[in-house]
Amino acid sequence: MTTGLHLPGGGAPEPGPHDQADRTAAHVDHGTRSSVITARAAATFEPVGRSVATARSFVRDTLQGWGFADVIDDAVVLTSELVTNAVVHAGTAAEVLCLRSENSVRIEVGDRYPEREIPLQQSAVNMGSPDREGGRGLQLCAALAGHWGVEYSPTHKHVWFALELPDRPVGTRSAGPSLPTDVLPLADGRVRVAVVQIDRAGTISSWNEDAETLFGYAADQVTGKPLTDFAAWPHTPGISTGIAEALQLSRWEGSYGIRSAQGRVTPVYASHLRVRDADGEPSTVCLLVRDHERAVLQTPLRVAQSDQSASSGDGSSADPFEVFIGSPAPDDLDGLLQRTVERARDMLDGDAAFLLLATDDETELEVRASTGLPSARQRFARVPVEAGPGRYGSARMPAVHEDLTVVPGAVPLLGGTGMRSVVTVPLKVEGRLTGSLGVAAESPGRYSNEEALRLQFAADRIALAVESARLGELERLRRGSLSFLVEASDLLAGTLDRDQTLALMAQMTVPTLATWCAVYTIADQSSDPYLSYVLHEDEERIDGLKALLSRIDPPDPVPTPGARIWNAPAKAAHEAALRTSMRNLDLGEPPSLAAGVGTTLATASAVGGETVVLPLVARNRVIGMLTLGKPTDEHFRQEILELAEDLSRRAALALDNARLYSERTAISQSLQRSLLPPELVQVPGVEVDVIYRAAGEGNEVGGDFYDLFPIREGAYGFAIGDVCGTGPEAAAVTGLARHALRLLAREGFGGPAVLERLNSAILDEGARSRFLTLLYGELWPQEDGSAILKVVCAGHPLPLRLRQDGTVEPAAEPQPLLGVMDDLELYEQTVTLDPGDILLCVTDGVTERREGSRMLGDDGLAEVLATSTGLTAGAVAARVMRAVERFASDAPSDDMAILAMRVPGLHTD
């Protein structure tokens, strides 16, 4: 079923939702006394059997809310028959429209089966037997309705009927049904009604004879004393309002007790009415009867009586909840609350309605649904329940305010809305305050205690369903929050990059938690907050938002946990929009300003709502602030703020970890770069090129190293080595080896002596020492274009020589590695590179490159080198690196260094 409820603001057109010119009609003019529609309610019912009972409930609920109890039974019977014709016999959806005027109600039932022949009232066609299943609806219309008819359109057929309200003489009102004598309320002889008047201070100023008889006090014994001295008020759990507060309400009904002169408590039923005396002073008139005689004063609960008499199609009693809320009831909390405020508004013929739910601690009420009010401004706004300015003082009991201009602030939610009168009732479950339901009108004096009782009856029917839906939503939010935080933690833990962490923080909050987000960072305790990242759900607003935030002072870096309100962005946006608008009104401004006006106004709207700041605290230090904002007139829910607080704690730690990692990486890379030669030395007559790859994230050098340096005039030293392991420990031995080689070589030591002394230095490191494979050589370019090399290969992969004819051969013999034995006997070998020859030196990260059980090895390296004849030294090194990378799909697990030298000869292109 789909429904729509409407309250026209003034006069309405003739009854009926369709005014097509081509509609033909066969009907009798309904001739109602007033054709001005004051309210309408519409619903559509699917073509299923249960829709008949649902339609009856819809009509009963609508007419009961309008106060048309006199015609409910006839209207329900007629609606039931006409909807049955539509959904059962015609097999189409039924559209039910209720129209209210001052003196009548008109109900239309439409279906989509217009070709079916419908007998006309003025024709002589036999309308059928009353006992026949079909065609009975029109007979009932003719019998029960004052006016009825059938209207056609090309696609729809509408059967309508109008029921006039009976005229009531002045001074009378509708009453309940007549009852058998044996079920009438019992009274003790004469029914006595105590009339007690209470002044504005709560003291008794009048006490009549019936009060003396009922309670045993003479008037002079009680006059001038507070009523609270005699009243025994029931302190029901969850109800904090006492007798003193009840006396301040405009109207109130209920039970309590009066302590008699004999000390006994006499249960009474009371009706309080707030009045003014001849001097204009407010006072309260209390009418009291014995509690078992409450029928004398108690306002008839017409809704309850109609609900008890309502029955579904199968003869069982109708569900009071469905009578008020409609069937089927919305299955989500927001839908249920919105349906509730709409039905409450129409039930009391109000201009607006609202529903607030209590927070978990029941100290505040949060607006969750409204109609007829600026919902975007009011949604999720909060007001205190018990104390403080702007408190919602009447939340725990029914209350009627005849004119809010007399008691400003009584209902803070309605401030500035134009509403004058309001009735509010609590939603309670097992004595706990769970919410408040209110209906308001733009004119004063619209509501009395009777409307409060009717609204309270409806609130009692929906309170449990609302609380159940609220708890279900809360559970879903908690599960969703846990999933959100788990996913956020995984994403934040997956990166150590500071900029990426900032981006993730913003992207996780927008739009899930907020409309826009800004992250401020603080480098150290002496630094000011810096605007590091800005994000808005509308990308076109990011630049304007960033410019706005850059012009205002950042929020204070307060370490206090939790979200705090920050008004500066909204204030700055409002001022900027105002200045721009004023400049635009100046006729002397250039036309190009118009685009700027639109941008400024859009930015102001984007940040004009609530803005909160959450500190980013890590390791007992504020490292930044997470700022979340809403657009104009929107507020954050408490659950969202709590979730944002949890996220800010995780994000702060991730951001600080990224900062520490960046600092450590920068220091490590700075130290590691010092272990490599800043640039290659140019050797006359020899091409030299190097490729270096360090294994491990963030490493620029590890256990592998290379060097090329001048020793003396015409002589150059070169080295390529591999320290056991990778990382900083290996890099320490790398630095020792590289600097020792340069120092010893320039002191005039030959190759074997240099390596023997380096071996001793490594062993002197003790437990920190690591073994080292090293290829060291000295290079002398010759005048004929060749080059002479003297090399020592200490445990290192052998250097390979490529001749011009494509043959590849080792250029040295293997000898013991360094850092293992004290006494080494090393020797050097002499190699002559002819013009066009290439010497290739690599570390074992190249030759030991693996793919499963396969390894590149010395033979694979030789095959790659054999195909490099005629290439430059740089091309040879690049070809070898490509071959190594393509040999396996996995990333290299060991450092790699490639040193290629080529003797081009005297005459080269």
Taken in order 508, 510, 513, 519, the sign of the CA dihedral is positive
Q: Which of 113-122, 472-481, 564-573 has the highest mean pLDDT?
A: 564-573
The pLDDT of residue 319 is above 80: no
CA-wise closest residue to 838 among 812, 877, 783: 877
Q: Which residues contact 193 (CB under 8 A, 6 or more apart)?
A: 210, 287, 288, 289, 296, 297
Report the pLDDT value the prediction gives residue 32, as an integer from 0 to 100: 40
> For the segment 355-379, what is each residue's pLDDT rounded down to a tens digit?
888 876 667 788 888 888 765 445 5
**pLDDT number for residue 392:** 53
Percent of the chain's residues with pLDDT above 70: 77
Strand ranges inside 14-124, DSSP E: 25-27, 39-45, 94-100, 104-111
Name the more confident of 704 and 231: 231
Q: Which residues contact 795 (CB under 8 A, 6 or more apart)?
A: 771, 772, 773, 774, 814, 815, 816, 817, 818
Q: What is the mean pLDDT of residues 694-723?
A: 81
Residues 745-781: pLDDT tens digits? Answer: 999 999 999 999 999 888 887 766 678 899 999 999 9
Rounded to the nearest 10 degrees, how much is the dihedral formed by the CA atoms of 172, 176, 182, 186? -70
**Within 13 A of 393's CA, how many CA atoms are on the CB side?**
15
Higher pLDDT among residues 894 and 182, named by residue: 894
CA dist 171 and 494 (Å) reads 79
Longest dimension (CA), the chain: 144
Alpha helices in 228-353 (DSSP H): 243-247, 302-309, 320-325, 333-347
Return the closest-CA partner of residue 221 out of 257, 196, 192, 199. 196
CA angle (231 as vertex; 226, 234 as ends), nearest 5? 135
**Does the pLDDT value for residue 862 go beyond 90?**
yes
CA-CA distance, 420 to 821, in Å (whole number)?
101
Q: What are the φ and ψ backbone dihedral angles of 40, each rounded to 5 degrees?
A: -145, 150
- Calculate what percentage of the chain has a pLDDT beyond 90: 22
Least confident of 235-239, 384-388, 575-579: 235-239
- Residue found under tokens 């995780």: 650
| Residue 684 DSSP class | T
Kindly state the tokens that stand for 837. Answer: 């020859």
Q: How far apart are CA 297 and CA 270, in angstroms?
A: 7
Q: Which residue has the higher pLDDT, 162 or 7?
A: 162
pLDDT at 326: 58
**Cα–Cα distance between 572 and 578 in angstroms, integer?**
10
The pLDDT of residue 96: 92
Looking at per-residue pLDDT, the higher value among 120 and 847 belongs to 847
Residue 810 predicted with pLDDT over 90: yes
- Report the Cα–Cα distance between both ends of the chain, in Å, rounded: 90
Q: If we measure between CA atoms, which residue out of 543, 549, 554 comes closest to residue 596?
A: 543
pLDDT of 614 > 80? The answer is yes
CB–CB of 114/152 below 8 Å? yes
Strands 704-712 and 352-358: unpaired
Give the angle subtended at the CA of 677 by the CAs of 675 and 683, to the nearest 5°: 155
DSSP string, 338-365: HHHHHHHHHHTT-SEEEEEEE-TTSSEE
Average pLDDT over residues 281-300: 85
Mean pLDDT along residues 844-869? 90
Q: How far is the C-alpha of 285 from the C-alpha of 200, rounded, in Å?
A: 11
From residue 745, how far is each of 404, 542, 796 by CA, in Å? 99, 62, 19
Q: What is the pLDDT, as a whole number, of residue 25?
A: 33
The two counts, helices (H) then strands (E), for the chain are: 21, 36
Contacts of 520 (CB under 8 A, 6+ apart): 529, 530, 531, 532, 554, 555, 624, 625, 627
CA-only gyration radius of the chain, Å? 46
On whether the CB atoms of residues 302 and 69 are closer than 8 A, the answer is: yes
Cβ neighbours of 363 (radius 10 Å): 13
pTM of the model as a whole: 0.45
Return the half-sphere exposure (C-beta side, CA atoms, 13 A cut-off) of residue 266: 22
* Mean pLDDT lowest among 106-120, 469-483, 559-573: 106-120
Q: What are the phi and psi torsion angles at 303 (to 5°)? A: -65, -40
Give the pLDDT score at 320: 52
Residue 225 clears pLDDT 90, i.e. is over it: yes
Instruction: Judge whether 705 and 897 are in contact, CB under 8 Å.
Output: yes
Least confident of 276-280, 442-446, 813-817, 884-888: 276-280
Q: Please determine, for residue 414, whether its predicted confidence score (pLDDT) is greater than 90.
A: no
Residue 8, pLDDT above cutoff 60: no
pLDDT band at 787 (very low <50, low <70, confident <90, very high): very high
**Helix-helix angle 449-493:498-509, to 10 degrees:** 160
Question: Residue 172: what are its φ and ψ, rounded to 5°?
Answer: -115, 165
Long-range contacts of 873-878 (CB under 8 A, 24+ apart): 873/687, 873/688, 873/689, 873/838, 873/900, 873/901, 873/902, 874/687, 874/689, 874/900, 876/689, 876/802, 876/838, 876/840, 876/900, 876/902, 877/689, 877/690, 877/691, 878/691
User: At residue 119, does pLDDT exceed 60?
Assistant: no
Task: Provide the pLDDT for residue 238.
Answer: 40
Contact indicator for 755, 744 with CB cutoff of 8 Å: no
Q: How is residue 730 written in tokens? A: 């290996």
Q: What is the dihedral of CA 616, 617, 618, 624, to 10 degrees?
A: 40
The separation between CA 847 and the C-alpha centre of its own chain, rounded to angstroms, equals 56
Alpha-carbon dihedral 122, 124, 129, 130, rounded to 10 degrees: 20
Question: Position 154: which residue type?
Answer: P
pLDDT of residue 583: 63
Give the mean pLDDT of 608-617. 86
Instruction: Please check whether residue 448 is in contact with residue 479, taking contact to mean a CB–CB distance below 8 angstroms.
Output: no
Encode 799-851 in three state secondary structure. Answer: CEEECCCCCEEECCCCECCECCCCCCCCCCEEEEECCCCEEEEECHHHHCCEE
Lowest mean pLDDT: which of 330-334, 433-437, 769-773?
330-334
**CA of 647: how far to CAs of 204, 492, 513, 641, in Å?**
59, 10, 10, 10
282-290, strands of its sheet edge to edge: 204-207, 194-199, 282-290, 265-276, 251-259, 231-232
DSSP secondary structure, 156-180, as one string = -EEEEEEEEPPP--TT----PPP--
Q: What pLDDT score does 245 carry? A: 78
Tokens of 180: 């058998």
Mean pLDDT, the chain, whole residue set: 78
Q: Please give the Cα distance from 781 to 686 (Å, whole number).
A: 7
Cβ-Cβ contacts under 8 Å for 579 (sequence gap 6 or more): none
| Confidence band of 240 (pLDDT split at 50, 70, 90) | very low
How many other C-beta atoms are found inside a 10 Å radius of the C-beta of residue 872? 16
Q: Which two tokens stand for residue 130?
A: 């009353």
CA–CA dist 839, 880 (Å, integer): 13
- The arrangement of strands across the sheet holding 364-371 comes to 382-384, 364-371, 352-358, 432-441, 421-429, 399-401
